Structure 1
Amino acid sequence: MEGTTHALTDDHRDLYDAADTERWAAEPDKRPGRTAFQRDRARVLHSAALRRLAGKTQVVTPGSRSYDWDASPRTRLTHSLECAQVGRELGAALGCDPDLVEAACLSHDMGHPPFGHNGEEALNEFAKDCGGFEGNAQSLRLLTRLEPKRFVPDPTSGELVSVGLNLTRACLDAATKYPWARGDHPTDPDSVKFGAYEDDLPVFEWLRRGAPADRKCFEAQVMDWADDVAYSVHDFEDGLHAGHLDPNMLYAEPERAAIWQVAIGRYVPADTAPEELRAALDRLMEQEWWPHGYDGSALAQSRLKDATSQLIGRFCLAAEGATREAYGSGRLTRYGAELVIPREARNECAVLKAVADLYVMQRDEQERIRADQRIVLAELAEALSARAPEGLDPQFRAIFDAAPDDKARKRAVIDQIACLTDASARSLHARLTRRGRRAER
Structure 2
Amino acid sequence: MGYEARDRERWVAEDPAQKRADRDDFARDRARVVHSAALRRLAAKTQVLGPGHDDFVRNRLTHSLEVAQIGRESGAALGCDADLVDTACLAHDLGHPPFGHNGEAALDEIAADIGGFEGNAQTLRILTRLEAKRSHADGRPAGLNLTRASLDAATKYPWPRDEAPGGSRKFGVYASDRAVFDWFRAGAPPRARCIEAQVMDWSDDVAYSVHDVEDAIASSWVDPRVLRSDVDMVPVLDAAARTYAPDLTPDVLAGALERLVASGAIPPAYDGSHRALAALKDMTSRLIGHFVRVAEDATRARYGPGALTRFVADLVVPEHARAECAVLKAVAYHFVMTTDERVAVLSRQREVVHGLFDAYAAQPESRLDGDLRADFRVAGSDAQRRRVLVDQVAALTDVRALALHREWVG
Displacement of 1:33 in angstroms is 10
Q: Provide structure 1 residue ranges, at least 5 long, that are not aligned to the other structure.
A: 22-31, 155-159, 437-441
Q: Against the structure 1 CA distance between its residues 164 and 369, is the aligned structure 2 distance closer, same or farther, given a 3 Å change threshold? A: same
Counterpart mapping for 1:30-429 below 5 A: 35-64=24-53, 67=54, 69=55, 72-154=56-138, 160-188=139-167, 191-270=168-247, 272-429=248-405
CA contact (8 A) 1:151 1:162 kept: yes
Alpha-carbon separation, structure 2, partners of 1:241 and 1:431: 34
Superposed CA deviations along residues 272-329 of structure 1, whole A, max 9, x for unmatched, are 2222112111111112332112221111110110110000000000000000000001
CA contact (8 A) 1:136 1:194 kept: yes
Q: What residue number does 1:24 align with?
A: none
Displacement of 1:246 in angstroms is 1.0
Q: Against the structure 1 CA distance between its residues 416 and 317, is the aligned structure 2 distance closer, same or farther, given a 3 Å change threshold? A: same
Alpha-carbon separation, structure 1, partners of 2:376 and 2:33: 25
Displacement of 1:267 in angstroms is 0.8
Aligned residue pairs total 407
CA contact (8 A) 2:33 2:91 kept: yes
Which segment is superposed worse, 145-154 or 195-204? 145-154
Q: Provide structure 2 residue ranges, at least 5 long, that are not aligned to the other structure.
A: none
Q: Against the structure 1 CA distance between its residues 275 and 399, is the aligned structure 2 distance closer, same or farther, given a 3 Å change threshold? A: same
TM-score, with length taken from structure 1: 0.89
Superposed CA deviations along residues 124-180 of structure 1, whole A, max 9, x for unmatched, are 1011111110000000000000000112322xxxxx121000000000000000000
Alpha-carbon separation, structure 2, partners of 1:73 and 1:248: 20
Amino acid at match of 2:336: V
- Structure 1 runs (4+) deviating above 4 angstroms are 15-18
CA contact (8 A) 1:7 1:35 kept: no
Alpha-carbon separation, structure 1, partners of 2:285 and 2:149: 30
SS in structure 1 at match of 2:112: coil
CA contact (8 A) 2:66 2:207 kept: yes
Q: Against the structure 1 CA distance between its residues 177 and 33, is the aligned structure 2 distance closer, same or farther, given a 3 Å change threshold? A: closer
Displacement of 1:427 in angstroms is 1.3
TM-score, with length taken from structure 2: 0.95
Q: Against the structure 1 CA distance between its residues 15 and 110, is the aligned structure 2 distance closer, same or farther, given a 3 Å change threshold? A: farther
Q: Against the structure 1 CA distance between its residues 312 and 209, is the aligned structure 2 distance closer, same or farther, given a 3 Å change threshold? A: same
Percent of pairs identical after alignment?
A: 53
Amino acid at match of 1:73: V
CA contact (8 A) 2:224 2:266 kept: no
Amino acid at match of 2:206: V
Displacement of 1:13 in angstroms is 4.6
Alpha-carbon separation, structure 2, partners of 1:327 and 1:409: 48
CA RMSD of aligned residues (A): 2.0
